[in-house]
Amino acid sequence: MKNKKYQKQTIPYLLLIFVILGVLLFYNFSQFKITEFTYDQLIVELSNETVKKIEITPKNSAGVYTISGQLKEYNVNESFKVNVPLSESVLEKILNYVEDSDIEVVTKTNPENNGFLVILLNIIPYAFLIGGTVWLFSKISGSNKNSMDFGRSKAKLSDGGGSVKFSDVAGLIEEKQEVAELIDFLKNPKKFQKLGARIPKGVLLVGPPGTGKTLLAKAVAGEANVPFYYISGSDFVELFVGVGASRVRDMFREAKRTAPCLIFIDEIDAVGRQRGTGLGGGHDEREQTLNQLLTEMDGFGANEGIIIIAATNRPDVLDPALLRPGRFDRQVTVSLPDQKEREAILKVHARDKIFDNSVNLENISKRTPGFSGADLENLLNEAALLAVRRNKDSISMNEIDEATDRVLMGPAKESRKITDKEKRLIAIHESGHAVIGLKLKDANEVHKITIIPRGMAGGYTMMLPKEEKIAIMTKNELLATITGLLSGRVAEEIFLKEITTGASDDFRRATSIARSMVTEYGMSDLGPVQLEHKSEGVFLGRDYNKSKNFSDAVALEIDQEVRKIIDSCYKDATKLLKENEKLVNLLADTLIEKETLTREEIIELVETGKLSGDNNPEDLKNQAKKLGIKGYTKMSESELIKAIENSKK
């Protein structure tokens, strides 16, 4: 079988060699036409003065002269050749015909007298031929070797010398303890075996994107003194059948040789999805790869000393056989960081950056709930880029605020021209949202209002929870959220006497919350019954398939309950905005003038009805001087205000 395969691979190359040689021979023989003359014919042509050029080359060994040349009627690729006796009388006779004519005469030396030329003409062609053959067969054997390595594992090996350590991973205290236990077991297994403990064969890191799952695995590589293999789930699956399973086998075979060791599989959902799902059935090659992975993790063969760490943000699509004890015994949820963890993450990413005295990382952490570690790193990086763009020596709160808005909504479109009517409309809309946040008991706090367009939004109101808590909300808080979302449209109706398309996204979010209250949370007159829940198809998309456990009659009642919640919140928003008409207009007028209002400015407007320090830069500088703010003389008015506010905090 191997010889036949080798012959099939070499035959095309041999045919190619013969074709090239044939073309070269044909080219050499077809390009040049040489006519053999006798001595008498040459004398006749010389006497008739039809010769244009002759070349005389002596050949001592043969005792003759070789005379070649061209007639006047010849083309460029035509010539004649004649061998004459090596005699001075013969040569003199020929030269007599040449003397009185315009014939070009060239006399060459005997090539046989030049040893180097002989070598060049006789040996070099054979050397080229042999060298080309050797190179060709080496390429053939190389391609054959690569084809044999096609099923080899793509896992990369690190000997535990990674640059990322646990000190570089801020927060995630419990998560680090879980993976640190694995490293401790690999270093000192007797401590665990003494009490009969079995270390988990696999640890699955689960969490939203950007929370630090891969970073945690890199820290394990940096802390461990054992071989560490890392690979992506997509590296297993290929077009050809059996390659994925072969790579899984090869990866574990290599790991056994270096055990004890760690294997990290990133994005394992690429290969670990549920089998037999989808409209057309499963992907056979991917399923075979998963079957091999299941067998290697906990099959008949023992893989002692091999611990697998995998990461995914879609644990719901993983095959149940992959998650059972004996394979992935432990699931570690890497969730979004809380306020203290966000502050620690900010400190890690702020190590190599220069900040102004006005920057307070604790305040930034309080203003960024819901940010992942990747979001916080991006926030500080955006702030640093803005500072460089503005030719500053340090990063100030002005850049931090702008970077926060860029991460949330995108860059500001300050060059976009907005008519006065449109600016008034957006200001009224956003002021409506803000007043609900200021006056409604269970609503979120208003931290910022802006009418500067960002992304797809003409403006936005930043509202954050009054205190950070886990993902549990009361019914009153949900109703207050819906009321706040509807208040933009209500403000348009009351103060502009017209409605716009600007509230479309508010309606979508409000309707989604109201429907979840009725069908999932049991917060309606239908009672504590879950009528709907998401049943995400693995290959059908997130919300393509939604389980509905109710009849058409109940569907009508659900719609009525949703409508009842929306109408009630709409009435509450209308009542609240009419009671605070002056505040809505005050916020809108100030927004039209300043375009952006911070939380401190909003509170000052609510309490005093005006902003202090407006158009009074000397007063601001005096305050900054008293508070000991460095570099205040070079700050703009807005930067001075923010620096003073942060210093007072």
Q: Supply the residues annotated as catalytic.
A: 430
- 3-class DSSP state for residue 66? strand
CA atoms of 253 and 251, how far apart (whole Å): 5
Q: Is the dihedral of CA 457, 314, 220, 178 positive or negative?
A: positive
- 3-class DSSP state for residue 276? coil
Pick from 435, 437, 463, 459: nearest CA to 448: 463
Residues facing 532 on adjacent strands: 548
Report yes or no: 224 and 269 within 8 Å, Cβ to Cβ: no
Q: Which residues contact 576 (CB under 8 A, 6 or more apart)?
A: 435, 436, 439, 440, 483, 487
Q: Show the beta-strand stretches assigned E in 313-405.
A: 330-333
Residues facing 412 on adjacent strands: 454
Q: Which residues contact 103 (CB under 8 A, 6 or more apart)?
A: 46, 51, 52, 53, 54, 97
Report yes or no: 338 and 418 within 8 Å, Cβ to Cβ: no
Edge-to-edge order in the sheet of strand 460-464: 460-464, 445-450, 596-598
Using CA atoms, how far residue 568 sits from 466, 509, 565, in Å, is: 24, 16, 5
Q: What angle do CA 205, 271, 249 make, to 5 degrees?
A: 100
Instruction: Tell me whether the omega of the peptide bond preceding residue 260 falls within 30 degrees of 0, making it cis.
Output: yes
Pick from 39, 47, 99: nearest CA to 67: 39
- 3-class DSSP state for residue 308? strand
Q: Which residues contact 641 (CB under 8 A, 6 or more apart)?
A: 598, 601, 613, 620
Which structure tokens are listed for 499? 């409605």
Secondary structure letter of residue 77 according to DSSP: T
CA atoms of 166 and 180, how far apart (whole Å): 9
Q: Show the beta-strand stretches assigned E in 221-370.
A: 228-232, 261-266, 306-312, 330-333
- On the CB side of 341, CA atoms within 13 Å amount to 21
Q: Which residues contact 333 (CB under 8 A, 6 or more apart)?
A: 206, 207
- Amino acid of residue 326: G
Which structure tokens are listed for 93? 């006779």
CA atoms of 604 and 584, how far apart (whole Å): 14
Q: Which residues contact 32 (CB under 8 A, 6 or more apart)?
A: 77, 78, 79
- Element housing 213 (H / E): helix 213-223
Secondary structure letter of residue 495 according to DSSP: I
Q: What angle do CA 180, 181, 187 make, to 5 degrees?
A: 90
